[in-house]
Amino acid sequence: MNQSLKKQVDGILADIFCADQAYALLREIGLLTKSPALRHRFVRAGINSDNFYDLADSAITERLVEWCQSRLADGDTIESVNIWRASEALRFRRDKVIAHNELLSSEPAPDLTWAQVNSLLELARTMLDLVSSGYLNYFLTADDGSFFLTSEVEQSAVCLRRLLRSLK
């Protein structure tokens, strides 16, 4: 079989598979679970939770989408501007330094602090927890807001620290 044709067929199959997955996920996502835990997550995130249990699923989804968009847009609040600046600085590094390092220019990379990176991670964790708990009934945070996977992630850092100390 012609290798070029096989690669094209494999690419089309991969696209069809991804489309089927997306369709299945979207079909599943339409089922919102209105639980006290989800309402608590809305309150914790600062999303309007008035009449939470009386709202249609689409209205709750609309509130969630509006909240996410307001956090990601270059908006009017200091928080949204800071998130936007940090995400743009990360995007610059990804585009110029990691993905296309052969195209490095003399343009300096925008400033980025660990605190900004952490705020982006917190926002991503919050968004993921809201979506996964509401639509998949899969909880990623405890009631106090701590992200379950953080302790697992920190284990690799502890192991690396021990390894580096043993190399001294």
Helices (H), the chain: 3-29, 36-45, 57-72, 78-92, 114-135, 148-167
Inter-CA distances, 97 with 9, 88, 90, 100, Å: 33, 13, 10, 6
Q: Is 64 exposed, middle or buried (0-12, 13-18, 19+ CB in 10 A)?
A: buried
pLDDT per position as a tens digit, 29-48: 667 788 899 999 999 999 99
Residue that has been written with the tokens 């600085």 in this structure: 89
Q: Above 90 in pLDDT, residue 51?
A: yes
The least confident of 11-20, 86-95, 129-138, 158-167 is: 11-20
Inter-CA distances, 35 with 38, 112, 127, 163, 168, Å: 5, 38, 17, 44, 52
Residue that has been written with the tokens 């968009």 in this structure: 69
pLDDT per position as a tens digit, 85-97: 788 887 877 777 6
Sequence ranges of the domains in the chain: 1-30, 33-140
**DSSP 8-state assignment for residue 50:** T
